[in-house]
């Protein structure tokens, strides 16, 4: 990758480099489209999308929305913690320009959440200080600061305006101006543990995509002629549609009127059936057809701020807090009223201010005329608003800021459903469980960077946070956001420590959301870079970076001592396996685990608390369905199938053969191992090695092209003809139905053509990859390749008929075995010797993100050719990469919101909250938008005899006996029989079975008197490392009545 990965697609016109962009108040006198961007590329109508940078986000938003974003100028008012969070996400997202407006200066209370302000910036204008730091986030987005007032003329320059830290008067004024001028407005505000969002995108907002889901499609088995016609889908898979969806049809035979029809609305009748329009006049349905969902744009009329204030529509976020939005709607107005009256916020935890605040709220309520008027005020809640309104918390800003930035993107693009129109949020569970009052003194400002947080929680929590030891697993998107929050809240800012580990290096596609990394950091270690970056944000955070992958291999690093020193673990992982591994470690060491993940606009948070909640592994999402091999091999019917086939081709052509051949050449035990394999495998493996080293061995680029051409012929012509020879197009099944019908699409062979771009694409990619594996010089010269192709003689192919059996069984039997054996000997003799040092094979690891390495070129061409074989619509490179590369779509907004929620749970853990209802697991989908919070599921209780236990409990067995000898299996079994009245029927360690009631007698006899650790090493065939102080055993047991009982696991200590 080049050292400046962002420079690739920038386009600069001559006029764009005139002055500096660090402008203040008057710099935006010119139209924004001509704003200088100091040597930087800029977005705009003429800008291409940098797919390398925006890759993962493009899979969330799509190219159209991305283009619309690149044409939007955004103003973000208020550069405190919330404003800078929104700005960060919007800049990462890639709008045309961002302007940050603020007239205030940095104060101590800002530092608890404004991650681009440092202590030395106190007293300086917040927008101006933040501007250069924000500008670094994305070279394509010019960032300017503005310290002037928000006049009507000024606002007119923008497509979207975001107000944060803004007075009610200003909100109303700007709100009216924006509504009248068609400027989209978002108001975002956070006060301590409370958050508020408001959207007004005008009276005629077109939403292009209301849910962000991929359009579904299904294969049809029947359509009736009726009013309304009923469509039945193949029972391969549920159609997944909902009533009200719109669909259209392709490939329907018989009732062809439906093919390419205007979108028709459907009514779902069942998981495989739905009804459509009147089909009674249509032709009779014969067979086949695909029904595809069509996304219908939706028009939404927003109310202006002033009318929506009185008649608010609320988006519910937590059904356990059903009446909160109305109360908080009023509470936020009371904050504005208090501030207006006193020119200050209520003093944290001051009762007198709370009383006055409450009466202000009552006054406001009684003055209400619209539906905003409440019958009754939740007085305790309103007072709490007063007590903590002066607070400023990084996690709340991260959550609301993530959401607000997504709303900005919705406003720019019409992609996804906006928040209609108010949303309120609170995280009051973060306060002490006993509902005791904190004191005014305890929460008074100290002129320190945590003032904004101390005003909510007091100093005790601050001290506790500083002492925490946390293990952060992963420094990717979630990891970066977590570190930012850790730095802001002061986690490990004293005696504690954050250990962050990640074995990955930074790639260009990370920069779009892993906001601690810059283009110059590409190829550096994530953990080191992230640790250094957050040290800048808060120099007192103690952080150590590791480069280890967590797993059994690193247990000597992350050993008992390591885990015992921790207060908790935060996962920032991208795969379920590692999550489950960390979960198991945390359960074993009884440490709290903060778990979170994102997928596009969806995010979830799970908190695992020892002896209280279930663990991560207790409940799991169903894994993705894999594609059946027969579908891949012979019967693909979707582009996913051809892409997976192409990926398998890649492995089978450019990785495995050379890997095997290299093993043959370098590993002296290879032959011995191979000969031990069962059945025909030894011959198969050696044939493959022979093919790789002898038959296929290319001596020149021309050989590579020839190989590619012949392979093309084999895959896209010969094999298809062979298949059609076995199953001709008119083949019938035993029931008389066409064999090629339903999910089985009848293929047709392709004829190679030098003038077909796709065919040449394939040859270019395949020949170059093949050349790479042999260290032959490849080429990009298509004309040269065309020349070579003209000379290639492709052998003619005749489909093989089944081998007729001429010989008697006996004869064949003996001849067959001798063929195999003699072929084996032949191969052994003919294979090049190990000393043949001229062989330098290079297996290729698939890498999806490098556009010059031919990997994706091969996948796209191979998949689309096969798709053509089966008349499946092809997929472009972008879509192919998503599916074949198993890319997880990702966007900064979701990550920042999710991590905000994670850190709110961290506040609770550090305080030692003990009630299940104090904790919140969260799920969100910013596209809908949808939020759901629920208390974690309690650890399931099990029972044997009268003993209750959960996954957090275990038997502790000391393996080392007083005599210094270790317990034998016999003693172990006896111990459980005598001490716990349990008869062990099966005993296991991991996947190894140490003892079972059905073991054979001889083996049991031998094993009974062996020490436990010896049995473990013997059965598992793995040595126990010196760091292993204890083993985990699982038991199956019977109680005294011979009933099978569930019991906890055993921790068996050996050192």
Partner 1 sequence: MNSNVENLPPHVLRLVYKEVSALAADPPEGIKVYPSEEDITELHTAIEGPEGTPFAGGIFRMRLVLGKDFPAVPPKGYFLTKIFHPNVGHKGEICVNVLKKDWKAELGLRHVLLTIKCLLIHPNPESALNEEAGRLLLEDYAEYESRARLLTEIHAMAGPGGTSVAPQDTNDGPQPKKHAGDPTKRAGPSAAAVPVALGNGASGASTTSSSNSSNSSSNSTAGKKKVRKKRALRRL
Q: Please tell me the distance from the alpha carbon of residue 109 to that of residue 420, in angstroms, as a whole number.
A: 32
What's the closest the beta carbon of residue 968 comes to partner 1, in angstroms? 18
Positions in 813-852 near partner 1 (CB under 8 A): 813, 816-817, 820-821, 824
Residue 1043 DSSP class: -
Binding pattern for the stretch 506-545 against partner 1, x by CB under 8 A and - elsewhere: ----------------------------------------
What's the closest the beta carbon of residue 637 comes to partner 1, in angstroms? 12
For residue 672, give the nearest of 820, 826, 828, 823 by alpha carbon.
828
Query: In this complex, which beta carbon is closest to partner 1, that of residue 666 or of residue 836?
Result: 666
Q: Please tell me the distance from the alpha carbon of residue 818 to that of residue 833, in angstroms, as a whole number.
A: 25
Positions in 90-129 near partner 1 (CB under 8 A): none
Positions in 331-360 near partner 1 (CB under 8 A): none
* Interacting span for partner 1 (CB under 8 A) from 22-30, 637-645, 682-690, 890-898: 682-690
Positions in 544-563 near partner 1 (CB under 8 A): 551-553
What's the closest the beta carbon of residue 745 comes to partner 1, in angstroms? 13
At 379, is the secondary structure helix, strand, or coil? Answer: helix
Q: Are the beta carbons of 936 and 916 closer than 8 angstroms?
A: yes
Query: In this complex, which beta carbon is closest to partner 1, that of residue 659 or of residue 1039?
Result: 659
For residue 122, give the nearest of 451, 387, 343, 397 by alpha carbon.
451
What's the closest the beta carbon of residue 747 comes to partner 1, in angstroms? 12
What's the closest the beta carbon of residue 551 comes to partner 1, in angstroms? 4
For residue 372, give the nearest of 425, 317, 421, 299 by alpha carbon.
421
Residue carrying the six token digits 């509470």: 331
Query: In this complex, which beta carbon is closest to partner 1, that of residue 301 or of residue 630?
Result: 630
What's the closest the beta carbon of residue 464 comes to partner 1, in angstroms? 32
Query: In this complex, which beta carbon is closest to partner 1, that of residue 74 or of residue 1037?
Result: 1037
Q: Please tell me the distance from the alpha carbon of residue 105 to that of residue 126, in angstroms, as a whole number.
A: 5
Number of residues that bind partner 1 (CB under 8 A): 88
Q: Please tell me the distance from the alpha carbon of residue 127 to that of residue 545, in angstroms, as a whole number.
A: 32
* Interacting span for partner 1 (CB under 8 A) from 488-496, 524-532, 536-544, 658-666: 658-666
Query: Which listed residue (299, 625, 699, 793) binds partner 1 by CB under 8 A?
Result: 625
Query: In this complex, which beta carbon is closest to partner 1, that of residue 853 or of residue 992?
Result: 992
Q: Please tell me the distance from the alpha carbon of residue 65 to that of residue 410, in angstroms, as a whole number.
A: 9
Q: Which residues make Cβ contacts (< 8 Å) with residue 699, sequence separation at least 6? A: 776
By CB under 8 A, is residue 581 in contact with partner 1?
yes
Q: Are the beta carbons of 220 and 427 closer than 8 angstroms?
A: no
Query: In this complex, which beta carbon is closest to partner 1, that of residue 62 or of residue 743?
Result: 743
- Phi, then psi, of 131 in degrees rounded to 5: -50, -55
Query: Which listed residue (561, 630, 795, 837) binds partner 1 by CB under 8 A?
Result: 630
Positions in 47-86 near partner 1 (CB under 8 A): none
By CB under 8 A, is residue 668 in contact with partner 1?
no
Positions in 717-736 near partner 1 (CB under 8 A): 722-723, 726-727, 731-734
Q: Please tell me the distance from the alpha carbon of residue 133 to that of residue 441, in angstroms, as a whole number.
A: 35
What's the closest the beta carbon of residue 778 comes to partner 1, in angstroms? 26
What's the closest the beta carbon of residue 119 comes to partner 1, in angstroms? 43
Query: In this complex, which beta carbon is closest to partner 1, that of residue 678 or of residue 963?
Result: 678
Positions in 940-979 near partner 1 (CB under 8 A): 951
Q: What angle do CA 122, 126, 127 make, to 5 degrees?
A: 155
Q: Please tell me the distance from the alpha carbon of residue 589 to that of residue 568, in angstroms, as a whole number.
A: 10
Query: In this complex, which beta carbon is closest to partner 1, that of residue 301 or of residue 1001?
Result: 1001
Q: Please tell me the distance from the alpha carbon of residue 1040 to that of residue 318, in angstroms, as a whole number.
A: 48
At 453, is the secondary structure helix, strand, or coil? Answer: helix
Where would I find the beta strands (DSSP E) of 910-1011? 921-925, 930-934, 942-944, 947-949, 954-958, 983-989, 992-996
β-partners of residue 998 are none
Query: In this complex, which beta carbon is closest to partner 1, that of residue 194 or of residue 690?
Result: 690
By CB under 8 A, is residue 666 in contact with partner 1?
no
Query: Which listed residue (344, 460, 556, 673) binds partner 1 by CB under 8 A?
Result: 673
**b/e for 170-200, b at 16 or more Cβ within 10 A?**
bbebbbebbbeeebbbbbbbbbbbbbbbbbb
Positions in 602-621 near partner 1 (CB under 8 A): 617-618, 620
Q: Which of 443, 469, 630, 842 is an active site residue?
A: 630
Residue 870 DSSP class: T
Query: In this complex, which beta carbon is closest to partner 1, that of residue 208 or of residue 992?
Result: 992
Query: Which listed residue (10, 432, 1049, 1054) binds partner 1 by CB under 8 A?
Result: 1049
Positions in 979-998 near partner 1 (CB under 8 A): 985-986, 988, 990-993, 996-998
Query: In this complex, which beta carbon is closest to partner 1, that of residue 108 or of residue 727?
Result: 727
Query: In this complex, which beta carbon is closest to partner 1, that of residue 529 or of residue 988?
Result: 988
Positions in 1010-1029 near partner 1 (CB under 8 A): 1019-1021
Return the structure tokens found at 313: 């529509």
Query: For residue 76, what are the CA distances in angstroms to 143, 147, 191, 200?
Result: 11, 12, 18, 15
Query: Which listed residue (14, 123, 679, 795) binds partner 1 by CB under 8 A?
Result: 679
Q: Are the beta carbons of 924 and 545 closer than 8 angstroms?
A: no
Name the H helices within 779-885.
782-791, 809-830, 855-869, 877-884
Q: Are the beta carbons of 277 and 247 closer than 8 angstroms?
A: no
Angle of helix 126-135 relative to helix 81-93, nearest 10 degrees, comes to 30
R_g of the chain, CA atoms, integer Å: 33
Positions in 743-802 near partner 1 (CB under 8 A): 744, 802
At 703, is the secondary structure helix, strand, or coil? Answer: helix
630 annotated active-site: yes
Binding pattern for the stretch 396-415 against partner 1, x by CB under 8 A and - elsewhere: --------------------
Binding pattern for the stretch 179-218 against partner 1, x by CB under 8 A and - elsewhere: ----------------------------------------
* Interacting span for partner 1 (CB under 8 A) from 432-440, 559-567, 603-611, 1041-1049: 1041-1049
Q: What angle do CA 13, 18, 21 make, to 5 degrees?
A: 110
At 197, is the secondary structure helix, strand, or coil? Answer: strand
Q: Please tell me the distance from the alpha carbon of residue 184 to that of residue 56, in angstroms, as a whole number.
A: 26
What's the closest the beta carbon of residue 237 comes to partner 1, in angstroms? 7
β-partners of residue 74 are 98, 160
What's the closest the beta carbon of residue 581 comes to partner 1, in angstroms? 6
Q: Please tell me the distance from the alpha carbon of residue 583 to that of residue 606, in angstroms, as a whole number.
A: 11
What's the closest the beta carbon of residue 941 comes to partner 1, in angstroms? 13
Q: Which residues make Cβ contacts (< 8 Å) with residue 683, sequence separation at least 6? A: 820, 823, 824, 827
Query: In this complex, which beta carbon is closest to partner 1, that of residue 237 or of residue 1054?
Result: 237
Return the structure tokens found at 519: 């283009």
* Interacting span for partner 1 (CB under 8 A) from 455-463, 680-688, 779-787, 878-886: 680-688
Query: Which listed residue (216, 428, 928, 999) binds partner 1 by CB under 8 A?
Result: 999
Q: Please tell me the distance from the alpha carbon of residue 305 to that of residue 735, in angstroms, as a whole number.
A: 67
* Interacting span for partner 1 (CB under 8 A) from 63-71, 184-192, 343-351, 665-673: 665-673
Return the structure tokens found at 877: 């490179």
Positions in 797-816 near partner 1 (CB under 8 A): 802, 805, 809-810, 812-813, 816
What's the closest the beta carbon of residue 556 comes to partner 1, in angstroms? 15
Positions in 223-242 near partner 1 (CB under 8 A): 236-237
What's the closest the beta carbon of residue 986 comes to partner 1, in angstroms? 5
Active site residues: 630
């Amino acid at each position: 990758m080049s050292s400046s990965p962002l420079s690739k697609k920038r386009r600069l016109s001559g006029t764009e480099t005139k002055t500096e962009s660090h402008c203040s108040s008057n710099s935006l006198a010119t139209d924004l489209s001509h704003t200088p961007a100091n040597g930087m590329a800029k977005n705009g109508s003429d800008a291409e999308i940098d797919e390398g940078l925006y890759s993962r986000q493009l899979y969330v938003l799509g190219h159209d929305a991305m283009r619309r974003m690149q044409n939007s100028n955004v103003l973000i008012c208020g550069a405190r913690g919330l404003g800078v969070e929104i700005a960060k996400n919007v800049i990462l997202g890639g709008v045309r320009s961002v302007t940050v407006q603020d007239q205030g200066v940095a104060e101590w209370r800002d530092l608890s959440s404004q991650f681009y302000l440092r202590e030395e910036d106190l007293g300086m204008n917040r927008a101006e200080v933040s501007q250069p730091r924000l500008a670094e986030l994305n070279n394509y987005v010019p960032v300017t600061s503005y310290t002037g007032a928000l006049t009507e003329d000024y606002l007119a320059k923008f497509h979207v305006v975001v107000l944060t830290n803004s007075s009610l008067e200003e909100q109303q004024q700007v709100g009216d101006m924006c509504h009248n001028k068609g400027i989209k407005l978002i108001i975002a505000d956070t006060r301590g543990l409370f958050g508020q969002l408001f959207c007004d995108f005008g009276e005629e907002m077109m939403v292009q995509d209301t849910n962000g889901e991929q359009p579904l499609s299904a294969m049809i088995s029947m359509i009736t002629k009726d009013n309304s016609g009923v469509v039945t889908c193949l029972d391969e898979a549920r159609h997944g549609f909902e009533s009200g969806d719109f669909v259209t049809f392709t490939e329907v035979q018989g009732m062809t009127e439906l093919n390419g029809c205007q979108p028709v609305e459907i009514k779902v009748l069942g998981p495989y059936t739905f009804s459509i329009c009147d089909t009674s006049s249509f032709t009779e349905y014969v067979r086949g057809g695909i029904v595809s969902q069509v996304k219908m744009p939706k028009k939404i009329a927003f109310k202006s701020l002033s009318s929506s204030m009185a008649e608010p529509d609320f988006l519910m976020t937590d059904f356990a807090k059903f009446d909160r939005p109305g109360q908080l709607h009023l509470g936020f107005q009371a904050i504005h009223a208090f501030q207006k009256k006193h020119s200050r916020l209520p003093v944290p935890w001051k009762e007198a201010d709370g009383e006055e605040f409450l009466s202000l709220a009552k006054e406001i309520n009684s003055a209400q005329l619209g539906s905003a008027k409440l019958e009754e005020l939740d007085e305790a809640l309103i007072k709490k608003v007063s007590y903590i309104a002066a607070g400023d918390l990084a996690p709340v800003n991260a959550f609301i800021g993530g959401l607000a930035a997504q709303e900005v993107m919705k406003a720019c693009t019409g992609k996804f459903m906006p928040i209609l129109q108010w949303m309120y949020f609170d995280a009051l569970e973060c306060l002490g469980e006993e509902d005791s009052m904190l004191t005014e003194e305890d929460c008074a400002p100290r002129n320190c960077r945590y003032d904004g947080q101390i005003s909510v929680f007091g100093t005790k929590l601050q001290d506790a946070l500083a002492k925490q030891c946390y293990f952060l697993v992963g420094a990717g998107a979630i990891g970066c956001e977590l570190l930012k929050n850790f730095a802001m809240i002061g986690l490990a800012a004293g005696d504690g420590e954050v250990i962050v580990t990640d074995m990955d290096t930074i790639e260009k596609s990370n920069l779009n959301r892993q906001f601690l990394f810059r283009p110059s950091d590409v190829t550096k270690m994530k953990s080191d870079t992230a640790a250094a970056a957050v040290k800048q944000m808060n120099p007192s955070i103690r952080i150590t970076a590791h480069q280890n992958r967590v797993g059994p291999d690193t247990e000597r690093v992350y050993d008992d001592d390591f885990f015992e020193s921790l207060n908790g673990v935060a996962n920032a992982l991208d795969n379920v396996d590692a999550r489950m591994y960390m979960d198991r470690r945390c359960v074993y060491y009884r440490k709290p685990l903060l778990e979170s993940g994102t997928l596009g606009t969806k995010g979830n948070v799970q908190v695992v608390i020892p002896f209280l909640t279930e663990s991560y592994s207790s409940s799991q999402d169903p894994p993705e369905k894999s594609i059946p091999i027969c579908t891949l091999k012979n019967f693909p019917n979707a582009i996913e199938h051809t892409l997976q086939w192409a990926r398998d081709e890649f492995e089978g052509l450019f990785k495995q053969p050379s890997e095997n051949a290299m093993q043959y050449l370098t590993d002296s035990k290879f032959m011995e191992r191979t000969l031990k394999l069962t059945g025909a495998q030894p011959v198969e493996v050696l044939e493959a090695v022979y093919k790789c080293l002898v038959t296929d061995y290319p001596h020149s680029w021309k050989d590579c092209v020839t190989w590619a051409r012949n392979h093309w012929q084999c895959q896209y012509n010969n094999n298809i003809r062979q298949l059609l020879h076995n199953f001709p197009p008119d083949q019938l099944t035993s029931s008389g139905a066409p064999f090629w019908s339903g999910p089985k699409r009848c293929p047709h062979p392709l004829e190679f053509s030098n003038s077909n771009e796709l065919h040449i694409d394939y040859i270019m990619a395949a020949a170059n990859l093949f050349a790479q594996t042999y260290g032959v010089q490849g080429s990009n010269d298509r004309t040269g390749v065309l020349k070579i192709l003209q000379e290639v003689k492709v052998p003619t192919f005749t489909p093989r008929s089944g081998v007729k059996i001429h010989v008697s069984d006996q004869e064949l039997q003996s001849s067959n075995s001798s063929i195999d054996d003699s072929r084996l000997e032949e191969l052994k003799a003919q294979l090049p010797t190990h000393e043949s040092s001229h062989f330098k094979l290079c297996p290729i690891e698939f890498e999806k993100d490098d556009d010059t390495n031919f990997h994706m070129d091969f996948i796209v061409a191979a998949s689309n050719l096969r798709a053509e074989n089966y008349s499946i619509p092809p997929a472009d490179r972008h879509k192919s990469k998503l599916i074949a590369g198993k890319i997880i779509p990702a966007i900064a907004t979701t990550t920042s919101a999710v991590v905000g929620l994670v850190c709110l749970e961290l506040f609770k853990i550090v305080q030692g909250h003990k009630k299940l209802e104090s904790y919140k697991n969260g799920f969100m989908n910013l596209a809908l938008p949808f939020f759901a919070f629920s208390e974690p599921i309690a650890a399931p209780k099990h029972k044997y005899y009268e003993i209750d236990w959960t996954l957090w409990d275990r038997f502790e067995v000391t393996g080392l006996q007083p005599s210094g000898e270790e317990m034998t299996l016999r003693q172990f079994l006896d111990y459980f029989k005598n001490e716990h009245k349990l008869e062990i029927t099966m005993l296991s360690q991991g996947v190894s079975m140490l003892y079972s009631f059905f073991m054979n007698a001889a083996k049991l006899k031998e094993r009974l008197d062996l020490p436990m650790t010896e049995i473990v090493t013997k059965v598992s065939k793995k040595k126990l490392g010196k760091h292993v102080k204890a083993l985990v055993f699982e038991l199956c047991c019977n109680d005294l009545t011979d009933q099978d009982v569930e019991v906890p696991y055993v921790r068996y200590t050996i050192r």
